[in-house]
């Protein structure tokens, strides 16, 4: 849903400690521009990140890109943002859930073939908003297809209590700027919940 330039700019702002709000509302000061330019020419240029924006991407497009990058030794980790945006090209008689399941299987097969981890981001069902315990995620909250949870080795959901009006935990601890990662499936390890800190102004997360 974001272009390569938008993602690039967000990463740059996060690294530079410059608030994206300043850029959108007031523009950058000369000092902030100098900091961003310096980071662009040093740190960001050295980061081993490749952003590939493919309009109406199909699983076959991603497969071809990854295969080529692997041959060039330029791909050790695949992040797909996000699977519900793929052009699934539904075959005759296939519903959305079936097509999404086939796409997920192709991405999983690609990760196994190339021996790389793949982080696949997916949407959640709207039904979760109707529950009083919407912060208690379930695997069935994944949108459109149960195949996603079946194929994945690890499934986790991100929750930020502050945004749901829960500013304090059960023990009275402030939850402002604190998020939870709820791990509901882990094929080779434990499940449970872990925390992280985030800064909404910088679009940045950090260790708890």
Q: What is the 3-state secondary structure (H, E, C) of the chain?
A: CCCHHHHHHHHHHHHHCCCHHHHHHCCCCHHHHHHHHHHHHCHHHHCCCCCCCCCCCCHHHHHHHHHHHHHCCCCCCEEEECHHHCCCCCCCCCCHHHHHHHHHHHHHHHHHHHCCCEEEECCECHHHHHCCCCCCCCHHHECCCCHHHHHCCEEEEEECHHHHCCCECCCCCECCCEEEEEEEEECCCCCEEEEEEEECCCCEEEEC
**Residues 189, 202: contact at Cβ < 8 Å?**
no
Which is more confidently placed, 205 or 129? 205
- pLDDT of 3 strictly over 80: no
Task: Report the pLDDT value the prediction gives residue 117, as an integer from 0 to 100.
Answer: 93
Nearest to 106 by CA among 121, 94, 118, 95: 118
Q: How far apart are the first and last CA of the chain?
A: 29
Task: Report the pLDDT value the prediction gives residue 202, as an integer from 0 to 100.
Answer: 62
Rounded to an integer, the average pLDDT of 185-193 is: 89
Domain chopping of the chain, boundaries? 1-47, 54-152, 153-208
Task: Report the pLDDT value the prediction gives residue 119, as an integer from 0 to 100.
Answer: 93
Q: How many residues are given for the chain? A: 208
- pLDDT of 104 strictly over 70: yes
Task: Report the pLDDT value the prediction gives residue 68, as an integer from 0 to 100.
Answer: 92
Task: Report the pLDDT value the prediction gives residue 26, as an integer from 0 to 100.
Answer: 67
pLDDT of 39-92, one tens digit each?
877 887 788 888 888 777 888 888 999 999 999 988 999 998 888 778 777 655
* C-alpha 96, offset from chain centre: 21
């Amino acid at each position: 849903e974001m272009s390569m330039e938008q993602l690039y700019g967000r990463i740059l702002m996060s690294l530079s400690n410059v608030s994206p709000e300043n850029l959108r509302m007031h523009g950058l000061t000369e000092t902030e521009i100098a900091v961003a330019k310096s980071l662009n020419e040093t740190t960001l240029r050295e980061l081993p990140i490749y952003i590939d924006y493919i309009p109406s991407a199909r699983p076959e497009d991603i497969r071809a890109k990854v295969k080529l990058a692997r041959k060039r030794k330029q791909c050790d980790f695949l992040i797909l943002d996000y699977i519900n945006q793929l052009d699934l090209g539904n075959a005759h008689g296939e519903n959305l859930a079936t097509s999404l399941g086939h796409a997920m299987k192709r991405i999983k097969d690609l990760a196994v073939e190339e021996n790389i981890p793949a982080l696949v981001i997916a949407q959640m069902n709207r039904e979760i908003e109707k529950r009083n315990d919407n912060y208690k995620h379930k695997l069935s909250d994944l949108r459109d297809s149960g195949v996603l949870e079946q194929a994945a080795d690890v499934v986790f959901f991100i929750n930020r209590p502050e945004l749901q009006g829960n500013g304090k935990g059960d023990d009275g601890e402030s939850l402002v700027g604190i998020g939870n990662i709820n791990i509901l499936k882990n094929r080779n390890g434990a499940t449970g919940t872990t925390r992280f800190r985030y800064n909404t102004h910088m679009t940045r997360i950090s260790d708890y």
